[in-house]
């Protein structure tokens, strides 16, 4: 039976390309050109995007050392550039860990480093705060020149715990131990691996290497994570044949590699010009939001290319059909054997009942992966938690009984 299941998973992984669809389900020309919001004369070296759904900001980095931030007015569907700053190195990708903080992280291909930047509320000042050199031990990453790390995304521990994320290094379940509350996933241009690191956010070069994971292609350039579906998107920048791979972060051993099991693979729409160098993308969450699901694509344009191409570097696709399921709270995927969680949704008091909560540590994380509540439960098999002060939204309840970790999902109304 085990052999059959392994072969079936391998079959799905190897044959997903056969059913590739277009993404974001419309031609490049159908997207709205946002480049002139940044500069009417055009933009070059645009290589990484990140969308923050809490403040409707689109973060954009250029490999020549620039950060731009566009504010999206969802009522009028208009954009305003609120930041245009010079930052160090060659930033190819950008992400955030805490969506409420005045900070962001980049992956610097020139220096093979993750960098943490802080900024004032108005972006009048942007400062490099900490950095982690990925060529340093314990990372085995090698300097491959201009085909280095290009994309980055942060995945909170609550999702890693829920899916049972496996360290490639140890073969065991892994969540962060360095204090950030999640892991950084880094897309690499050389051989297409996604590398995973656990960083100490307050100490330079203090990090753990979790492993590198095989993807469907030999080049990867950007990443996004949908916190409403638990799906990670991997962009593959392949001339004439750009691809987007989707995985829920489950993995399987294929040959000598631990490989992501993907649920979808798409053919990325290409511009009708000589430049199809699409290097960055961002998207809104599929669930838990109002309005249409939208996506952005950017391409890396060189300064010696035609002005018309420089003026068409960033497109907005509104709407598009995203993969994934907005899982109902009663879905068995989020139920744990021998544990009852009620009421769900909850207003004031949440009751947990079952044998597996005895002598267990109970933790509750919000949808950003931040720890909201922690309680040690000793002898009782029924526990009542006061959640009246919690903000409305989705939460993850983790039960850790002697190292056996189980996760449930509930909603606060």
pLDDT in tens, the chain (413 residues): 434 333 433 333 333 444 456 777 678 888 999 999 999 999 999 999 999 988 999 999 999 999 999 999 989 999 999 999 999 999 999 999 998 899 999 999 999 999 999 999 999 999 999 999 999 999 999 999 999 999 999 999 888 988 889 999 999 999 999 999 899 999 999 999 999 999 999 999 999 999 999 999 999 999 999 988 899 999 999 888 899 999 999 999 999 999 999 888 999 888 877 889 999 999 999 886 556 789 999 999 999 999 999 999 999 998 777 787 765 433 333 334 467 788 877 889 998 888 778 888 999 988 667 788 999 988 888 889 999 999 887 788 888 887 777 777 788 87
Question: What is the predicted pLDDT for the residue at 15?
Answer: 39
Question: What is the predicted pLDDT for the residue at 329?
Answer: 38
CB 89 within 8 Å of CB 108: yes
Question: What is the predicted pLDDT for the residue at 20?
Answer: 58
CB 214 within 8 Å of CB 187: no
* Secondary structure (DSSP) of 317-370: E-S----S----TT-GGG--TTEEEESSSBSSEEEEEEGGGTTEEEEEEETTS-
Question: What is the predicted pLDDT for the residue at 378?
Answer: 84
User: Which strands make up the sheet holding 57-62, listed edge to edge?
Assistant: 46-52, 57-62, 66-73, 78-86
Question: What is the predicted pLDDT for the residue at 335?
Answer: 39
State whether the Cα torsion 294-36-97-92 is positive or negative: positive
State whether the Cα torsion 364-369-183-159 is positive or negative: positive
Structural domains of the chain, ranges and CATH numbers in brackets: 2-317 (2.120.10), 332-412 (2.60.40.3080)
Nearest Cα neighbor of 213 from 177, 166, 274 is 166
d(CA 147, CA 239): 15
Question: What is the predicted pLDDT for the residue at 21?
Answer: 65
- In this structure, what DSSP letter does residue 91 have? E
Question: What is the predicted pLDDT for the residue at 216?
Answer: 95
Question: What is the predicted pLDDT for the residue at 386?
Answer: 93
d(CA 30, CA 42): 19
Q: Please, how many CA atoms are within 13 Å of residue 383, restricted to the half-sphere of its CB? A: 25
Token pair of 219 as six digits: 């080049």
Helix (H, G, I), strand (E, B) or coil at 217: coil
- Name 68's bridge partners: 60, 84
Question: What is the predicted pLDDT for the residue at 25?
Answer: 65
């Amino acid at each position: 039976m085990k052999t059959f299941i392994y072969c079936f998973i391998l079959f799905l992984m190897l044959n997903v390309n056969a059913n590739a669809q277009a993404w974001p389900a419309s031609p490049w020309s159908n997207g709205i050109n946002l480049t002139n919001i940044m500069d009417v004369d055009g933009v070059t070296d645009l290589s990484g995007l990140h969308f923050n759904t809490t403040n409707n900001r689109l973060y954009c980095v250029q490999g020549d050392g620039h950060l731009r931030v566009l504010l999206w007015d969802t009522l009028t569907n208009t954009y305003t550039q609120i930041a245009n700053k010079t930052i160090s190195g060659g930033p190819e990708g950008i992400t955030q860990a805490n969506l409420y903080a005045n900070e962001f992280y980049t992956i610097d291909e020139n220096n093979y480093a993750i960098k943490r930047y802080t900024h004032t509320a108005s972006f009048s000042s942007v400062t490099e705060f900490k950095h982690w050199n990925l060529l340093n031990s314990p990372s085995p990453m090698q300097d491959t020149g201009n085909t280095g790390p290009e994309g980055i995304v942060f995945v909170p521990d609550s999702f890693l715990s829920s899916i049972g994320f496996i360290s490639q290094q140890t073969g065991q379940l892994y969540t962060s131990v360095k204090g950030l509350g999640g892991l950084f996933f880094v897309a690499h241009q050389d051989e297409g691996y996604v590398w995973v690191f656990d960083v100490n956010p307050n100490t330079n070069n203090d990090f753990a290497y979790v492993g590198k994971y095989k993807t469907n292609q030999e080049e990867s350039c950007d990443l996004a994570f949908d916190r409403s579906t638990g799906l990670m998107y991997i962009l593959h920048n392949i001339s004439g044949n750009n691809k987007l791979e989707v995985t829920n972060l489950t993995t399987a051993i294929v040959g000598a590699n631990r490989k992501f099991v993907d649920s979808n693979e798409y053919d990325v729409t290409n511009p009708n010009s000589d430049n199809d160098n699409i290097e960055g993308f961002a998207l809104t969450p599929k669930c838990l939001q109002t309005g249409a699901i939208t996506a952005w694509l950017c391409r890396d344009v060189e300064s010696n290319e035609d002005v018309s191409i420089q003026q068409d570097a960033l497109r907005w696709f509104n709407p598009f059909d995203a993969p994934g399921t907005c899982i109902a709270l009663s879905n068995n995927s989020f139920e744990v054997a021998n544990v009852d969680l009620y009421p769900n949704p909850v207003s004031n008091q949440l009751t947990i009942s079952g044998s597996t909560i005895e002598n267990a540590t109970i933790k509750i994380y919000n949808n950003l992966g931040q720890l909201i509540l922690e309680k040690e439960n000793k002898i009782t098999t029924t526990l009542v938690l006061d959640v009246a002060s919690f903000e409305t939204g989705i939460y993850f309840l983790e039960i850790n009984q002697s190292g056996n970790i189980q996760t449930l999902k509930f909603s606060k109304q």
